[in-house]
Structure 1
Amino acid sequence: MPNIGRLLACAALGLSLTACDTLSSLNPFEKDEKYKPELVPDVPAANLYNEGLALMAKNEYPDASKKFDQIDKTYPRSEWARKALIMKTYASYEGGEFSESVNDARRYLTLYPNGEDAAYAQYLLAMSYYREVPDVTRDQERTEKALAAFQELVERHPRSEYAEDAKFKLQVVRDQLAGKEMEIGRYYLQRRNYTGAINRFRDVVSKYQTTRHVEEALQRLTEAYLALGVVSEAQTAAAVLGHNFPDSPWYKDAYKLLQSGGHEPREDTGSWISRTFRGFTRSVGLGG
């Protein structure tokens, strides 16, 4: 005799007892009383973190990164997740995965802008760009990004342990960017595109005064302005060069160039060159 309770339940659903039996058979727990769901035990975050550190010690950076990523996914927004994310950033950086390191660093700074490792995350972000700075013959997008990242580090974390190194590397990337401008300027100068050359050398003089390229830029401005017949600007470029770098071989070249045309260095205080160098103090940079 069928179970009255089951019969009433099936009737309420508009099902026959046979149909009800069919539905019931689809339940795996009723079909097989021996079935037991597989439970994956949670590994404590501390254990995963230590495993990641152990892999880092063996220079197994991809595997270490996976361990730290597991913490981030298993214990989201926890203190362990925060610590794991900065370590994952470092593991990606050390493993040469600079794009991944950039993404991790940016994520850390978004989630924990005031976290205790924010300065370090910013430093790893900048260094990831820095490690991929190309030579001056190639596009300088990564160099520009390294410059911006180091500047932000110095501005937001001026007292951090990374600020001093960031200041040095700022000088390196500025020198790189100035070198790129010089390369293009020389190219234009050789092809007698004097206006194009002046624009490039002007960028060096205006933006990268503390780099080793500024002396040559002033001499090239003397050359380009003379070629255009703009004698006053050529004289000013040479005069500013001589005043700030009197022992520079580039000043000797500029002086000879002016003399060959019957001119002398003479500063026009209304010139953009003169205004740019007002208050100029040369810092110790690359190339002396």
Structure 2
Amino acid sequence: MSMKHFLLVGLLALISACASNQVLDESLSESELYLLAQQDLDANSYGAAVEKLRALESRYPFGRFAQQAQLELIYAYYENMEPEAAKSSADRFIRLHPQHPNVDYAYYMRGMTSFTRDRGIFERFLPLDMTRRDPGAARDSFNEFAQLVSRYPDSRYAPDARLRMVYLRNLLAAYDVNVAHYYLKRQANVAAANRGRYVVENFQQTPAVADGLAVMVEAYQRLAMPDLAETSLQVLRANYPEHPSLDGDSFRHHVEPAKRERGMFTTMAGDLMGKVMTPPSRNAGTQMEREMQQQYLQALDALPREIRAPAQSEEEKQGRSIWSRITFGLFD
């Protein structure tokens, strides 16, 4: 390990130690603690806000700010990238205050923690296809949003939850189509046909239904079941005449429709949902590259002038990768 790495680890350890050694004044009143927590939340200092909200709840469990602090603790944990703590706090609030007028917020945040569980830093900056990932978090999120919508249909959070449920349903359907294509690749034709039929029967009105029908046609043709293959093909032609597998009167199934599927699900959760993001032109760069470049420039502008690196020539800049620029060369 180089000296730069040692310095980086030491700096992070020092910052962590300083943050963990902060001691709140025992004489702070309930309102003072709550006000300090609000200031931390407004300043996006979510770790500090967590400490103050937890202190408020433990010191004044029956105070007038106690229940509100429990709600805001869910949000602080969520923004501090502690999804399990946020979900645990939401479950606790629902259990302790089932009749609270703002309990719908706890249900909503519980769904949000599952919604963003698999969307870490790599998923934000790397072109990963979420339809090929483990769908466990997506299923949990869908069920939790569904519970919110069924219990509190008039909640202010219900419209957003419904939009996210549409997105999650499309994602789960596309995941099952990917599984069916995997079965086709492995010559597991019966399993592929069953998975395609499952998509058609259980995910109506999703874009994946057409792919499910195409999988059924291909699988039944391989299984020498012409009647079922022809029936599925007729349904595909009647409902999805523009499907890529249809070429005039002939059928040619695309076993790997990764590019087409990935385009449907590159929209980030914050853009929700019914908005289809138009892929950028090739000469404009990818969305990932633009976001990374913007974050790099913002981080560079935030540096004090004393520690900024000297200006580089164009040849030097072109020789460095985006990762090298973002990490300021620490890991070169």
Q: TM-score if structure 1 supplies the norm length?
A: 0.71
Distance 1:254 1:220 in 2: 18
2:241 equivalent to 1:256: no
- Identify if the C-alpha distance between structure 1 residues 190 and 255 changes in structure 2 by more than 3 Å, giving closer, same or farther: farther
Higher gyration radius (CA)? 1
Distance 1:72 1:285 in 2: 40
Give, as a single letter, the amino acid of the residue that structure 2 aligns with 1:120: Y
Distance 1:60 1:133 in 2: 23
User: Which of 160, 164, 167 does residue 159 from structure 2 map onto?
Assistant: 164
1:238, 1:255 within 8 Å by CA — same for their partners in 2?
no
Deviations 1:70-108, CA, capped at 9 Å, x for gaps: 122122254421100000001111111111111111111
Distance 1:103 1:255 in 2: 56
Instruction: After TM superposition, give the deviation of residue 140 of structure 1 in Å.
Output: 1.8
- Identify if the C-alpha distance between structure 1 residues 199 and 286 changes in structure 2 by more than 3 Å, giving closer, same or farther: farther
- 1:193 aligns with 188
Instruction: After TM superposition, give the deviation of residue 123 of structure 1 in Å.
Output: 1.1
2:199 equivalent to 1:204: yes
- Identify if the C-alpha distance between structure 1 residues 88 and 186 changes in structure 2 by more than 3 Å, giving closer, same or farther: same
Distance 2:41 2:96 in 1: 24
- Identify if the C-alpha distance between structure 1 residues 63 and 206 changes in structure 2 by more than 3 Å, giving closer, same or farther: same
Structure 1, unmatched stretches of 5+, are 1-39, 259-283
| Identity of matched residues, % | 29
Distance 1:164 1:41 in 2: 43
Instruction: After TM superposition, give the deviation of residue 147 of structure 1 in Å.
Output: 0.9
Summarize the alignment of residues 24-103 of structure 1 with structure 2, pairs less than 5 Å apart. Answer: 43-103=28-88
What is the aligned-residue RMSD (CA, Å)?
A: 2.4
Structure 2, unmatched stretches of 5+, are 1-24, 120-129, 253-272, 278-332
- Identify if the C-alpha distance between structure 1 residues 41 and 183 changes in structure 2 by more than 3 Å, giving closer, same or farther: closer
2:30, 2:63 within 8 Å by CA — same for their partners in 1?
no
The structure with higher relative contact order (CA 8 Å, sep 6+) is 2
Distance 1:63 1:158 in 2: 34
1:86, 1:121 within 8 Å by CA — same for their partners in 2?
yes
Distance 1:99 1:172 in 2: 23
Distance 1:42 1:73 in 2: 14
Instruction: After TM superposition, give the deviation of residue 209 of structure 1 in Å.
Output: 1.8
Moved more, 201-210 or 93-102: 201-210
- 1:237 aligns with 232
Deviations 1:37-89, CA, capped at 9 Å, x for gaps: xxx86533222111100011111101101111112212225442110000000
1:212, 1:285 within 8 Å by CA — same for their partners in 2?
no
1:175, 1:286 within 8 Å by CA — same for their partners in 2?
no
- 2:221 aligns with 226
Distance 1:137 1:72 in 2: 41
Q: TM-score if structure 2 supplies the norm length?
A: 0.62
1:102, 1:125 within 8 Å by CA — same for their partners in 2?
yes
